[in-house]
Amino acid sequence: MAEDSFTETVTTGWLSRIGSSIKGILVGIILIVIAFPVLFINEGRAVKTRKDLNQGAKECVSADAATVDSSHDGKLIHLIGTTQAEGTLTDSQFGITAKDALKLKRHVQMYQWKENTSTETKKKLGGKEEKTTRYTYEKVWAEGRIDSGKFKKSSDHSNPSTTLSSQTWTADPITAGAYTLSAGLVAKINNFSPHTVPSSPGDMADIDGRKVQLSNGQYYIGPNPASPAVGDLKVSFLTAMPTEVSIIAQQAGNSFSRFKGDSGTTINMLKIGTHTAGSMFDSAQESNQTLTWILRVVGFVVMFIGFNLIFRPLSVVADVLPLAGDIVGVGTGIVAFLLAAPLSLITISVAWIFYRPLIGVPLLLLAGVGLFFLFKKIAATRNAHE
């Protein structure tokens, strides 16, 4: 079968590229300006979250899920209990029922077009740039409708609309022993497993004008499951059944609310299975540390891209000879890195001085040393060329 693809080549002139790169300087400045508060605020968030988690670990008390202790009202409690729900959840459109389930989920996938792109850029003598973009199209099963209107060749790869969508039904109330779970805790229940559908769709009404049939344990909406066509649908079901959970939250009568630490961080945890309070707080601290490093990297990358955009006109000017442009591009990339790294470190250090002085001061000194050697190297290079 021949590959369904389309290739487009666009050539940009040297003067046009210079103009675009000059405009990019403003974008670069904006990115650098954004990077500083991202890095600074992230450190403050990390410190406050850590303090509040430590506070929560100290103040948290154990509770028995079987009975509500009024003396714990307003306190942060930890309990382990089995979730329960009464009644039956129903998807009336398909006639699917799940007795005593916590959640019932309908998962709908459509067979549809997907566009993939790959771009190759080549520099030409005289500063021109040739950009070749290759668009390939494949048919895939995917949840939700991929917007084919944004495809490069949308007329030949149109995805139809459908009235059917994924949906989740949730029992109300859901309890754990004598306690009723709050909406925030219910949202954290995710112990889904496949739900068996009836062996025959029976007298089910047509959907989108097509008959519903059973195929491989799920419903199929389309002419032939063995040869799917664009627009065909697969519908499967999942249920979250009663299970043991571990909860850390603020007791509010016979239910729960979010606990707010002195620094403003909220604590409202639910994990499937049996977990001690200590292990849950340790996991939350690890998540906080992971998020902190992710945002640090994001802040650095944003600043690095910003400096690259500021220096880009230099490499574009040198692109009259592609090799010269590549060399200048590498050089400006190194300078951008050497500026972004210490400036990011300085920002983090200043934030730590503000929030944690004993750690921030050494970091600031380290960043200062890095900048000193950078400027010393630049000065030495300049003197060598004079």
Q: 32-60: per-residue pLDDT in tens?
A: 999 999 999 999 999 999 999 999 999 99
The residue length of the chain stands at 386
Q: 75-91: per-residue pLDDT in tens?
A: 999 999 999 999 999 99
Q: 186-239: per-residue pLDDT in tens?
A: 999 999 999 988 866 666 778 878 888 888 889 999 999 999 999 999 999 999
Specify the pLDDT at position 150: 93
pTM of the predicted model as reported, rounded to 2 decimal places:
0.84
Picking from 266, 304, 248, 345, the residue whose alpha carbon sits closest to that of residue 45 is: 266
Cα torsion 216, 220, 224, 228: sign:
negative
The residues of the chain scoring below 50 in pLDDT are: 1
With pLDDT > 90 as the criterion, what percentage of the chain qualifies? 66
Strand partners, 233: 110, 221
- List the chain domain ranges: 12-52+287-385, 81-275
Strand partners, 97: 90
Q: What is the mean pLDDT of the chain?
A: 90
Q: 149-163: per-residue pLDDT in tens?
A: 999 998 889 999 988
Cα torsion 34, 337, 294, 27: sign:
positive
Strands 61-62 and 76-84: parallel
